[in-house]
Amino acid sequence: MKTTSITQRLAGLGGAKWDLHLAARDRAEQGEDIIEMTIGEPDVPIPDVMVEQAIAALQAGRVGYSNGRGENNLRDALAELYTKRRGRGFDRDNVLCFPGTQTALYAVMQGVAEQGDEVLVGDPLYATYEGVIRSTGAEMVSVPLRPEHGFRMQAEDVAARITDRTRAILLNTPHNPTGAILRPEELQAIAALALKHDLWLISDEVYEDLVFEGSTFLSPLALPEIADRTIAVASISKSHAAPGMRSGWAVGPKSFCDALLPVSETMLFGNQPFIADMTAAAVREGSPVAEGMRNRFARRATYLSDRVEAETPLRVHRPEAGMFALIDVSPLGMDNESFAWALLDQQGVAVMPGSSFGAYMGDWVRVALTVEDDALTRAVDRICAFARLRAAAE
């Protein structure tokens, strides 16, 4: 039977990017000694207080249909949070709630692009971005994020790729997979391009609460000159170690939220009330686990970098936020896929090939910093041993 064009546009963009991760997990289940450093799973469980809040909401019968925009208590909590953090006023009409950042981003993209349009996005990029863009019928246009600029998007690279078909720029700051954070002057230069060319600016900010000490995050939502063309998406998945609860949102102009509401209602008709109640409390009370994750991930990134760069020819890109670090494997004369599979086969360490995150990551692999410290030590031992053997064989 014939399937629709969306299935053809998304063909090859699903699980194939995660083949190595799935292979590593299969080997671990068969009893092999595998250290898994592939996906961005928080290294702590969801806080007990959030579980208790969700159970209390369930017991209170909060399982009916939701408002298509999301529950008002959650939208109010998010408006308060964004007013405090962004330095300008928001209210519930600036918020739509969704089950996770992914769904929010999918819906938002449906509202800004369609067949024949183009959306600019930094490369490397989170693995699902191409899919959410191509699902609309639009084409993804890659903007290279260069190592010499710390993998931060540069306005001149954006400007060189804007055409009369461009409708939006998709930002991810703090960035996955690189952990880079746009500097204020870089963000303002990109915002100026959005104004000049009448573009939407979409900002995935799910790692905002995992910014390391010494680094500063600025959201485009804090720039009043582009307030009418900026939409941010986020969730509690990373900040509150609750990826499985699927609770996210989009924040933007009231007019945009009004226009997108029928899309949201068609998809899901609001988020689950008992999860919304839990999320509203979590947003108001703040995360009890974010600070610990920030400190651990920063410390682990430093440990990985110090040892790998001291003991091997490899070099590490040190993140400013998030859950990952990048290793440049090109000094070994290997591409990212060959390195990642050989490391898994020979040392039992699973890292993600950079090619899973775009065309400009051929020299890099992504390493999750979410394993326990003793596992990290063993993994670094194995990575260093592998690299030394490869270097000696060159």
**Claim to verify: residue 214 and residue 73 sit in the same structural domain:** yes
| Token code pair at residue 294 | 């920030």
* CA distance linking residue 327 with residue 311, whole number of Å: 13
Q: Are strands 364-368 and 324-328 parallel, antiparallel or unpaired?
A: antiparallel
Question: Is the pLDDT assigned to residue 166 strictly greater than 70?
Answer: yes
Mean pLDDT calculated for residue range 79-91 = 97
**Claim to verify: residue 332 and residue 277 sit in the same structural domain:** no
Cβ 190 vs Cβ 155: under 8 Å: yes
What is residue 15's predicted lDDT score, i.e. its pLDDT? 66
| Host domain of residue 139 | 48-285
Q: How far is CA 137 from CA 4, 7, 9, 111, in A?
A: 12, 11, 8, 12
**Claim to verify: residue 256 and residue 305 sit in the same structural domain:** no
Cβ 242 vs Cβ 50: under 8 Å: yes
Q: Residue 102: which of 40, 186, 154, 52 has the closest Cα?
A: 40
For the chain, what's the residue count? 394
DSSP string, 251-273: E--HHHHHHHHHHHHHHTSS--H
What is residue 270's predicted lDDT score, i.e. its pLDDT? 76
**Claim to verify: residue 56 and residue 37 sit in the same structural domain:** no
**Claim to verify: residue 334 and residue 358 sit in the same structural domain:** yes
- The confidence band for 264, taking pLDDT boundaries of 50, 70 and 90, is very high
Average pLDDT value over all residues in the chain: 95
What is residue 7's predicted lDDT score, i.e. its pLDDT? 85
Mean pLDDT calculated for residue range 213-239 = 97
Q: How far is CA 5 from CA 9, 115, 134, in A?
A: 6, 11, 10
What is residue 14's predicted lDDT score, i.e. its pLDDT? 60
Residue 324 class from Cβ within 10 Å (0-12 exposed, 13-18 middle, 19+ buried)?
buried
Q: What is the pLDDT of residues 284-340, one digit of tens each?
A: 999 999 999 999 999 999 999 999 999 999 999 999 999 999 999 999 999 999 999
- The confidence band for 115, taking pLDDT boundaries of 50, 70 and 90, is very high
Q: How far is CA 48 from CA 51, 73, 272, 371, in A?
A: 5, 21, 19, 21
* CA distance linking residue 327 with residue 352, whole number of Å: 10
Number of domains in the chain: 2
Cβ 111 vs Cβ 260: under 8 Å: yes
* CA distance linking residue 78 with residue 97, whole number of Å: 10
**Claim to verify: residue 95 and residue 151 sit in the same structural domain:** yes
What is residue 301's predicted lDDT score, i.e. its pLDDT? 98
The three-state secondary structure class of 162 is: coil
CATH code of the domain covering residue 272: 3.40.640.10
Question: Is the pLDDT assigned to residue 10 strictly greater than 90?
Answer: no
Q: What is the pLDDT of residues 12-51, one digit of tens each?
A: 776 677 899 999 999 999 999 999 999 888 999 999 999 9
**Phi, psi (rounded to 5 degrees) for 360:** -100, 20
Domain end among 264, 285, 306: 285
**Claim to verify: residue 37 and residue 58 sit in the same structural domain:** no
Cβ 137 vs Cβ 9: under 8 Å: yes
- The confidence band for 271, taking pLDDT boundaries of 50, 70 and 90, is confident
* CA distance linking residue 279 with residue 242, whole number of Å: 10
**Claim to verify: residue 207 and residue 354 sit in the same structural domain:** no
**Claim to verify: residue 129 and residue 192 sit in the same structural domain:** yes
Question: Is the pLDDT assigned to residue 261 strictly greater than 80?
Answer: yes
- Which residues does residue 234 pair with via DSSP β-bridges, in sequence order? 249
Domain end among 269, 285, 301: 285
What is residue 1's predicted lDDT score, i.e. its pLDDT? 83
Q: Residue 317: which of 179, 183, 184, 186 has the closest Cα?
A: 179
CATH code of the domain covering residue 377: 3.90.1150.10
**Claim to verify: residue 373 and residue 247 sit in the same structural domain:** no
| Token code pair at residue 376 | 């990290």
* CA distance linking residue 158 with residue 189, whole number of Å: 10
The three-state secondary structure class of 238 is: coil
Q: What is the pLDDT of residues 374-392, one digit of tens each?
A: 999 999 999 999 999 998 8
Residues 6+ apart with CB under 8 A from 368: 36, 37, 38, 39, 40, 41, 323, 324, 351, 352
Residue 245 class from Cβ within 10 Å (0-12 exposed, 13-18 middle, 19+ buried)?
buried
What is residue 18's predicted lDDT score, i.e. its pLDDT? 85
Domain end among 263, 285, 307: 285
Q: What is the pLDDT of residues 169-224, one digit of tens each?
A: 999 999 999 999 999 999 999 999 999 999 999 999 999 999 999 999 999 999 99
**Claim to verify: residue 218 and residue 93 sit in the same structural domain:** yes
**% of the chain residues with pLDDT over 90:** 90
**Claim to verify: residue 166 and residue 32 sit in the same structural domain:** no
